[in-house]
Amino acid sequence: MSSIESSSASQIQMDYMKLLVTQLQYQNPLEPMDNSEMASQLAQFSELSQLETMNSNFAAVLSTTNRNYANSLIGKNITFYSQNETSGELEMKVGSVDSVFYNADSKESLLGVTVQTGEESQDYTLGLSDVILVENQ
């Protein structure tokens, strides 16, 4: 199995600058490189760097928004699907959100949900994507 290494825009730009310096050192003086092409490539790398920064900023905003949304679910009833341990079939469950916590490994807000069935209660841990319906109690 091969893995593809992803580089940041700044690393790609530094690699390009090294390549450009090497090309300038060994260029034919009678056929110099095209300045407009070099400027165009540098502008593209600058745009890539800015897009990379915007992407990381949007990811931070989304993470904060998801945390706020998860916190707003405390005390509400939610509906979700759970796999029956015996039959393996999906069952619709309704439970109350008791807690919210942040999983640093998966970078996801998780909900602590209690489902009451008669006198018994069952606890579940769900991601926001598992919630199919939200209701006030």
**What domain count does the chain have?**
2
Residue 41 placed within a domain: yes
Please indicate, yes or no, whether residues 84 and 124 belong to a single structural domain of this protein.
yes
Residue 1 placed within a domain: no
Domain stop point among 52, 70, 88? 70
Give me the pLDDT at residue 9, please.
67
> For the segment 22-65, what is each residue's pLDDT rounded down to a tens digit?
877 888 777 776 777 777 877 887 788 888 889 989 988 988 89
Range of the domain at 51: 9-70
Please indicate, yes or no, whether residues 58 and 13 belong to a single structural domain of this protein.
yes
Residue 31 placed within a domain: yes
Please indicate, yes or no, whether residues 101 and 57 belong to a single structural domain of this protein.
no
Residue 123 placed within a domain: yes
- Can you say whether residue 102 is alpha, beta or left, with left for phi > 0 and alpha for psi between -120 and 50 degrees? beta
Please indicate, yes or no, whether residues 15 and 65 belong to a single structural domain of this protein.
yes
How far apart CA 20 and CA 22 sit, in angstroms, is 5
Confidence of residue 77 (pLDDT cuts 50, 70, 90): very high
Query: What is the CB-side half-sphere exposure of residue 31 using CA atoms within 13 A?
Result: 3
Q: What DSSP state is assigned to residue 6?
A: P
> For the segment 85-126, what is each residue's pLDDT rounded down to a tens digit?
889 999 999 999 999 999 888 888 999 999 998 899 999 999
Residue 3 placed within a domain: no
Please indicate, yes or no, whether residues 83 and 112 belong to a single structural domain of this protein.
yes
* CA distances from residue 111 to 12, 47, 53, 54, 116 in whole angstroms, order as listed: 40, 38, 30, 29, 16
Please indicate, yes or no, whether residues 19 and 63 belong to a single structural domain of this protein.
yes
Domain stop point among 53, 70, 87? 70
How far apart CA 38 and CA 47 sit, in angstroms, is 14
Check pLDDT > 90 for residue 82.
Answer: yes
Q: 0.75 exceeded by the pTM?
A: no
**H helix intervals, 28-92:** 35-72
